[in-house]
């Protein structure tokens, strides 16, 4: 990548991942919670970390973004509308103010206590994308088992259980996917 003359570069967030971000965009180093969340989610199967233009890291599963984490602790997460509604109603996340009307939620990660809830939200986005990519009974079973380990609100558990059951019956049964012809 070609850089403007004299512009410094830095490697944000995760020492094991080299992300090319302009130093001019930096105002402060990412906090320890931001770094910890980046390292945790970056280790998930199939997840890649990619630079985002706004001094952030985009977490991707294949070609889908499962979240964007900014150096200041803002975590943006795309979710289908039914999940978004439950997350907001249960006060697990806020509507994303920079993306009004879009199926994104946001949380802030500033303290150690905020890491686990933020990681869970990012993981739910990850599991949803895994659901979209597989009908294999073994994968669906692993997703169901993992979801059962979390203390999710009943409405959220029910949504994921319904999606898993529908996934067993065909790929077009999930929210956010077009019906098959």
Tell me the per-residue pLDDT of 56-66, one tens digit each, with 9 for 90 and over.
Answer: 899 999 989 99
What is the span of the domain harbouring residue 108? Answer: 30-172
pLDDT at 11 over 60: no
Q: Is residue 125 part of a domain?
A: yes
Q: How far apart are CA 12 and CA 52, in angstroms?
A: 11
The verdict on residue 111 lying in a domain is: yes
Is residue 19 assigned to a domain? no
* Residue among 126, 138, 127, 123 at smallest CA distance from 163: 127
Average pLDDT rounded to a whole number, residues 10-15: 35
The answer to whether residue 16 sits within a structural domain is no
CATH number at residue 40: 3.90.1150
Q: Among residues of the chain, what percentage have pLDDT more than 70? A: 76
pTM: 0.78
Q: Report which of residues 124 and 26 the model is more confident about.
A: 124
Check residue 176 and give its pLDDT. 55
pLDDT in tens, 84-128: 999 999 999 999 877 656 789 999 999 999 999 999 999 999 999
Output the pLDDT for position 170. 58
Q: How many domains does the chain have?
A: 1
pLDDT of residue 50: 92
Region 36-61: mean pLDDT is 91
How far is it, in rounded angstroms, from Cα 116 to Cα 172?
A: 32
Q: Examine residue 87 and state whether it is found in any structural domain, yes or no.
A: yes
Look at residue 30 in the predicted model and tell me its pLDDT: 72
Q: At what angle do helices 115-133 and 81-89 cross, to 10 degrees?
A: 160
Residue 76 within a domain:
yes
80 within some domain:
yes
Residue 154 lies in a domain: yes
Of the two residues 50 and 20, the one the predictor is more confident about is 50
The Cα 72–Cα 90 span in angstroms is: 24
């Amino acid at each position: 990548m070609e850089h403007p003359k004299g512009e410094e570069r830095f490697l944000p967030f995760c020492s094991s991942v080299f992300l090319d971000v302009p130093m001019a965009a930096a105002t402060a180093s990412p906090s320890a919670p931001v770094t910890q969340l980046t390292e945790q989610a970056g280790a998930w199967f199939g997840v890649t970390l990619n630079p985002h233009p706004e001094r952030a890291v985009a977490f991707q599963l294949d070609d889908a973004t499962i979240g964007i984490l900014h150096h200041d602790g803002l975590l943006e997460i795309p979710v289908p509308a039914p999940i978004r509604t439950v997350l907001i109603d249960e006060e697990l996340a806020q509507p994303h103010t920079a993306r009004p009307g879009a199926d994104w939620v946001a949380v802030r990660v500033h303290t150690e206590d905020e890491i686990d809830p933020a990681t869970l939200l990012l993981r739910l986005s990850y599991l949803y994308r895994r659901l979209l990519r597989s009908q294999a009974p073994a994968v669906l079973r692993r997703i169901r088992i993992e979801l059962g380990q979390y203390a999710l609100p009943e409405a959220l558990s029910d949504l994921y259980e319904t999606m898993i059951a529908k996934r067993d019956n065909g790929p077009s049964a999930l929210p956010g996917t077009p019906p098959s012809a």
